[in-house]
Chain A
Amino acid sequence: MKPPPVLAVEGLSVRYPVRGGLFGGVTGHVAAVDGVDLAIARGEALGLVGESGCGKSTLGRTAVALQRPTSGRVMLRGQDLFALGPRDLKHQRRHAQLVFQNPKTCFDPRRTVGGSVRMALDTQDLLDPGDREPAVADIFARVGLRPEHRSRYPHELSGGQLQRIGIARALILRPELLVCDEPVSALDVSVQAQVLNLMKELQAEFRLALLFISHNLAVVEYVADRVAVMYYGRIVELASRAALFAGPRHPYTRALLAAVPSMDPARRDEAAPHLGEPPDPARLPSGCRFRSRCHIAFARCAADDPALAEANPGHAVACWAAVPDGPSVPASA
């Protein structure tokens, strides 16, 4: 009997109205997230990859209740986050924390960084007030900073240092789920490696369910146990790290992997895939939404919208070429 996952996302959609025309009326909808199911267990790191605008950040924001879904549920430790009253939601928030993409903007510029971390304990009313400051000092030490750093203001610290503090602010609440939205994309390579190492260490130490969102496949490969690839609101491939990087099944995943420039100058002339222009999110192609850029698309791809289905055990793909007998997504109204 497996324990319930820390995070279970069920049939999640987030739609935005598109306004246009002379009077700014609603002319259509864009689904940033379009019917996503995902689950993350305690101690598991799930990598979520995709290009800008694919909806991966929106999905991450619903998991920490910063974004209300249009439909579907977000279950955190067995409770539906968006069915909770304000008081219960506040208590649940302790268990789902977020590390932001840009460490330079995620701290109140008027507070010391120590004050910002302490605010987590104050808000959740954890520990005796007298024990909070020592706890902040402890977590600063744990993420590789000195207790003196607590009295600094955000603008006095580097991006790498601030991201360590961002991690400290999230972890001081001892959450079960940590969502990291592009946590190292604003950092320099040499510092990025430090922060990634730290995150991996802490993930094991705190047995975190980690939702690690990134556009960088190499970074995801380093951090994640399982990887989900997202394309225009849908998860198009979901597999263990080993299976996905060794044998990607979706043509989009393959194109993404092939597009990463090799670090070996000798392999520079390997042709990069030419995917063509991305579609307008308000006017996705019929059937499979990747078909307009897919070089193996065939007739059925225009007619039926493939759902995520297992190609091999534990390796799910939404592609008719990979899973010819898989289910299709019913056309929505």
Chain B
Amino acid sequence: MSSTLRADPVTTASDGPASGEQLLAVRGLRTSFKTSRGELKAVDGVDLDVAAGEVLCLVGESGSGKSVLALSLLRLIEPPGSILGGEVRFEGRDVGAMPRRALRRLRGRDIGIVFQQPQGCLNPVRRIGWQVAEPLMRDGLGRAKAWDAAVELLRAVGLPAPADKASAYPHQLSGGQAQRVMIAVALALRPRLLIADEPTTALDVTVQAQILDLLRERCRAIGAAMILVTHDLGVVAKLADRVAVMYAGRIVEQGPVADLFAAPRHPYTRGLLRAAPRLGEIGERLTDIPGGIPDLARMPPGCAFAPRCDTRRALGLDRCLDEAPPVFAAGPAGRARCWALAGDAA
């Protein structure tokens, strides 16, 4: 795996995060999967910045590449996938150039991960207390001390009767409790960044609300930043400081959450926000986005969203079909890849 330092010339603009010290910087990241149908460009030239302590939501539909992007940050891509290029810097260190040991350290200690299916990530034959204590022991804590610390961590994530529950096995927990345990494991070593991939998708709404509150509260408590991968705009509205919207392997728009919800600049973002049914705002018809997600193995030459885009049709923008749009400034602090914004930038 080479880590060529090739960044997209259009996007090397140094408009990093609005505030706070830079924690993670991604430039021109590309990840592909080789399949019988050809090369799937799951992540196709992504630039992303995360400041210390902020919550960045990565939104997209299935096949947008949001989960692959999250895994690529940690170089957790297995064949037939591979990271083809770009740069990921965590606290200034090049993740692509790290030797294996440093990479393991990065994953366990500096960056924690929470996945969608908590039950699938816990070891079914090990008491959950030991699973929380494990990273602490690897970090040099003695068994007894690690166990006590694990109980405290379980208490902090709101597990009822943590001292007893620490001796339980994963199958004895509900889905929500298991996700709390996963969060305890991920945050045990007080990482600087938490990556959460659809952490509440498998949970009921009443439990989802609690887990989202917990995620925010715990990250604030230890000063960790968070990258939350989700398809649910309600989750984004609740948690995000900044939002990056992905479509077909690219980030098509990013910006502060309030701006993005109030005045989305990219037609896809606008479409997504209109398409989601909202409580209490039911009209006669939902405004859908016609068509479906493009086939990543046969991407159109221009903007991937162009075939579905009503703005393109309304403005009669023909270049969208032939030329992929570069990144334009969108709003006070946002950026978007859309030719319709070309006028704003000029």
Contact = CB atoms under 8 A, between A and B. Distances in A.
Please say whether the chains A and B touch (CB closer than 8 A). Answer: yes
A191 B204 contact: no
B342 to A, nearest CB: 25
Contacts of A194: 288-290
A216 B272 CA distance: 17
A215 B205 contact: yes
Interface stretch (A26-34, A94-102, A258-266): A258-266
Contacts of A267: 237
B261 interface: yes
A217 B176 CA distance: 20
A256 B231 contact: no
Nearest to B279: A218
B317 interface: no
Contact of A263 (B206, B207, B237, B288): B237
Best-buried of B205, B272, B276 by chain A (most CB within 10 Å):
B205
B119 interface: no
A283 interface: no
B280 interface: yes
Contacts of B232: 261
B233 A189 contact: yes
Interface stretch (A76-84, A122-130, A270-278): A270-278
Given A260-B234, A272-B209, A51 B61 contact: no
A197 B287 CA distance: 9
A258 B55 CA distance: 23
A79 to B, nearest CB: 35
B61 A268 contact: no
A52 B293 CA distance: 28
A193 B292 contact: no
B237 A268 contact: yes
Interface string B286-300: 111110110000000
A207 B330 CA distance: 46
B98 to A, nearest CB: 35
A322 B205 CA distance: 24
Nearest to B200: A261
A265 B243 CA distance: 11
A256 B276 CA distance: 18
Interface string A120-164: 000000000000000000000000000000000000001111000
Given A259-B205, A265-B258, A278-B174, A158 B238 contact: no
Contacts, number: 124
A265 B288 contact: no
A260 B273 contact: no
B21 to A, nearest CB: 24
Given A189-B276, A193-B286, A263 B205 contact: no
A38 interface: no
A182 to B, nearest CB: 13
Contacts of A302: none
Interface in A14-54: 51-52
Given A190-B272, A261-B234, A263-B276, A273 B209 contact: yes
Contacts of B123: none
A190 B271 contact: yes
B179 to A, nearest CB: 13
A173 interface: no
Nearest to A274: B210
Interface in B111-159: none
Given A217-B279, A263-B261, A263-B276, A277 B174 contact: yes
Contacts of B208: 259, 261
A221 B278 CA distance: 9
B184 interface: no
A188 interface: yes
Interface string A292-317: 00000000000000000000000000
B203 to A, nearest CB: 9
Interface string B249-275: 000000001100100000000011101
B239 interface: yes
B160 interface: yes
A275 B158 CA distance: 13
A255 B275 contact: no
A160 B61 CA distance: 13
A51 B240 CA distance: 25
A158 B273 contact: no
B277 A261 contact: no
Contacts of A217: 205, 279
A200 B286 CA distance: 10
A107 to B, nearest CB: 17
Interface in A177-231: 188-194, 196-197, 200, 215-219, 221-222
B176 A272 contact: no
Contacts of A158: 292-293
Contacts of A260: 205, 234, 279
A268 B177 contact: no
B285 A197 contact: yes
B275 A190 contact: yes
22 contacts: A158-B292, A189-B231, A190-B271, A191-B288, A193-B286, A193-B287, A197-B285, A197-B286, A197-B288, A217-B205, A259-B206, A260-B234, A260-B279, A261-B232, A261-B235, A263-B261, A265-B237, A265-B261, A268-B237, A272-B210, A274-B210, A277-B176
For the complex of A and B, 7 pairs with smallest distance between CB atoms: A272-B209, A261-B234, A193-B288, A188-B61, A190-B289, A51-B204, A193-B286
Interface of B: 61-62, 160, 174, 176-177, 204-210, 212-213, 231-235, 237-240, 257-258, 261, 271-273, 275-280, 282, 285-290, 292-293
Given A189-B275, A197-B286, A260-B279, 7 more contacts: A51-B204, A158-B293, A188-B231, A218-B278, A264-B261, A274-B210, A278-B174
